[in-house]
Each structure stands twice: as structure tokens, then as C-alpha cells.
Amino acid sequence: MMLIVSVCLSVFAVAVLVVMTFGSGPSKRVNMRLAALDHEFAPPAREEAATDVRRPQPRLTASPRLNRLLASMNVASAAALFLYQADVKISLGALFLASVTGSALTGYFWYERSGQALAALFLSAVFLPLPLRYVQWKRQKRLFTLEQQLPEAVGMVASALRVGHSLVASLGAVAQECPEPIAGEMRKCFEEQNYGVGLRASMSNLTTRVPVQDFRIFAAAVMVQKESGGNLAEVLDNVARTARERFRLKKQVRVHTTQGIMTGWILSLLPVAIGLVMYLMNPDGMSVLWERETGLRMLYGAMAMDFVGALIIRKIVRIRV
């Protein structure tokens, strides 16, 4: 029974991580419009994405066999992109090893202290997704910073175009003048075009590295101007103004939903914290929950209701702009 409970809790933790990592995206109407632009201005099927041949390709693990297995499962590219977007220098194997090792040590020390296998397995399952959750938090923070820096960078590109610079030279100026991390992304785009990569592929690579709506709008505006002509500086000014207003609105929404987010975290973690405190104060009284069948039913029901309540609160306060 303990093995079944351990497997269920591990699957539960992984499911929560997947839901939090690949949650609901922007609105359906915005996705449809941006998808149409991506389809229209995407590189041809025969044109492969540019790869920097000057640098060795990242290895996800220290095992060549595991690397080949991940590559055959089409996991290697997605995992490498996820770690790159989070600006994390460790490999996927090291991250997975940290999750498993920390989970095992947490369960072992708790079992040695209390002698309760069920509580130890539960804490092990809770710790398992924490390192991946930390990487996801760093990724969200970096993408938020890129979204914040984009209006200024686009405005700088528009100013450079007005004084007579080409688009490539304007991207190079942004790479030199703007702070990180947007300077690094623009530098990659600038270097790709200097090494012979087309503008279409370069913009496609940029939107792949930075999956933010405003970057997709910027890339679509550049490609529309290339195909149909027009004043690119004026178009980029409008893009910068729109991105700046969207970011300001997003910050206002975040301010107004902070209370709801904190309420959700407190209501979700308060039962667990109270249960741990009560167990430390009176182990015999709390052990009734997992030593009797009725107590186990109550415990499983409380965990299910706590999880469902957290998802409902998260759905309420998660407002897309």
C-alpha cells in the first residue's frame, strides 16, 4: 500500500508541476491572430532554424545514452530551450538528480524522526517538483524582464531607423546600449543576420527563444513591413506604444490580484502547516488520521478539497492581458 501511495503522490506532484508550467495561455482570439501571422510569415518548411555552429550543442545529461534517448523522444530541444529561457546553467540531469535526491533525503529524515512512513512519503512527493518549480520561477521572472525592456528597445530601433541606419545596424545598437537580458537576445538576432541567416528565420528564432506576445508582434511588424513596405520607424513606434500600455495594464492587474494570490497561498498551505504543528505537539493524536481507515478517508478528502480550492482561486485571480 505504501508503494501505491508513493506512486500516486509522485504522479500528483508531477501533474501539478505540468499544470503550473504549461498553464492556460493568452486569450483565444489573440492566439488565433498571432498564429495566423506566424503561419503567414514563418520560414518555409525546407528552411531550417539557424544553429550557431561556433558553439557545441548543450548536453542535457552527462550520459551519452540518455542524451540520445531524450533526443529520440523530442524532449532534448524543449528541455534545453526551457533551461535557456530560465538562464539556468545546470543541466537537466543535474536538476533531476537534485529533485530525486532532495525528495529521498526529506522523506528519510522525516521517517527517522517520526517513524511515520505515510507522512515521509507525502513530504518526499511535495519536495520532488520544487527544483523544477524554481527553474520555472526564474524563467517567468526573465520573460517578465524582457517584456518590460521591449518598449524601450523597440523605440531605440525606431530612432536608429530615422537617422538612416539599417534594421541590422539598429539591432546591433540595441545590443550595445540596452541592459541584459534583452541585449543578449538582440545580439543573437544581430549576429545571426551577420552570419548570413535571413531576416525571416532570425525573427522566428527570436520569438522561439522569447515566447512573449509583444515579441511576436514586433517580429510580425518587421516582416509585414518587409513584405509590403511602409515606414518601419512609425510602425515600430506604434508597437512600442502598444507594448508599453499593455505592460502598464498588466502591472495594474497584478497589483489588484496580489491579495487574491496571497489568499490562495495562505488557504492552501495553512492546513498543511497546522497539521505539521499539531503532529509535533501531539504525535499520537494526529497519527489517528493515517492509522485508521476513517482517518485516511478524511485525510485524502481534505487533500483533494485543498487542491481543488487552490485551482479555483488560481483560476479566479489569473487574468490575462
pLDDT number for residue 296: 79
The pLDDT assigned to 6 comes to 44
CA dist list (Å): 87 to 60, 96, 135, 190, 276: 14, 17, 9, 20, 35
Using alpha carbons, select from 246, 299, 182 the residue that is nearest to residue 30: 246
What are the b/e assignments for 217-232, b being 16+ CB within 10 Å? bbbbbbbbbeeeeeeb
- Give me the amino acid identity at 306: D
Spell out the domain ranges in the chain: 64-128
Contact 197, 203 (CB under 8 A): no
Q: What is the pLDDT of residue 5?
A: 44
Indicate the helix (H) or strand (E) that contains 321. Answer: none
Running along the chain, 321 residues long, what does each successive block of 10 average in pLDDT?
A: 44 45 47 54 46 46 62 70 87 84 85 73 82 90 92 91 88 89 91 87 90 90 84 89 87 82 86 84 80 82 86 82 64
pLDDT of residue 72: 62
- Do 99 and 17 form a contact (C-beta atoms < 8 A)? no
The DSSP 8-state label assigned to residue 292 in this structure reads S
Q: How far is CA 121 from CA 16, 55, 158, 192, 198, in A?
A: 17, 43, 57, 49, 53
Q: What one-character-per-residue DSSP string does 169-202 give?
A: HHHHHHHHHSPTTHHHHHHHHHHHHHTT--HHHH
- pLDDT, one tens digit per residue, over 277-298 is 888 888 888 877 777 888 878 8
Query: Considering the chain, what is the average pLDDT of its residues?
Result: 77
> 57 — phi, psi (to 5°)?
-70, 145
